[in-house]
Amino acid sequence: MRAARALASCVLAAGGLAACGAARADDSAGDQQAKAAFATVHQVFLHPRCMNCHPVGDAPLQFDDSRPHAMAITRRSEANGVACSTCHRTKNGTRPNQPPGAPNWHLPPAETPMVFQGRTPKQLCEQLKDPKETGGKDLAGLVHHVEHDALVGWGWDPGPGRTPVKTPRATVVAAMKTWVAAGAPCPD
């Protein structure tokens, strides 16, 4: 018979985030640490800087309140001759309210939109582990993407008037590596 649920486990990660989750008596310490690390990943991926380009549906979101993109921009806009780069350049503008910029500004493809918006920790975990949902990226590829992609890095340097991701990028990458090294267990 499986052991009853034990007390919640909490880990204080670098950057001051407490990652807590239900721990089971039959969870190994490594699984508990990995699930706590994934709680950090989930929290960051639901930050507006990440979630706004990973929304439910075909329209990107914008601003800290994740409102629909102005000018009715959707994934279809590029097919209609309005590429993201029409407004989004390779770097941020220098004043608030100018369009943000980073190299290769785009939404994930419609076939694999990598939706973060509204995902529970378990749903996001399962999605990230499925290469059919990640554009063919395995877990190592996702870690590399978060660690090195310039567009992803924009979340930590979004330009004037935007709230950056507070958890340092290196902390998020370390949390992802901890989670992956333990076999990428999903929270309950």
For residue 121, is it within any domain? Answer: yes
Split at pLDDT 50, 70, 90, the class of 54 is very high
For residue 148, is it within any domain? Answer: yes
Domain residue limits at 103: 38-179
For residue 15, is it within any domain? Answer: no
Residues of the chain above pLDDT 70, percent: 86
For residue 134, is it within any domain? Answer: yes
pLDDT digits (tens, 9 = 90+) for 7-40: 333 343 444 444 444 445 456 888 999 999 999 9
How far is residue 83 from each of residues 78, 86, 150, 158, measured CA to CA in Å? 4, 5, 18, 20
pLDDT digits (tens, 9 = 90+) for 114-137: 999 999 999 999 999 999 999 999
For residue 166, is it within any domain? Answer: yes
pLDDT at 4: 32
The count of structural domains within the chain is 1
For residue 130, is it within any domain? Answer: yes
Q: Which residue has the higher pLDDT, 110 or 5?
A: 110
For residue 1, is it within any domain? Answer: no
For residue 138, is it within any domain? Answer: yes
Residue 159 CB coordination number (10 Å): 19
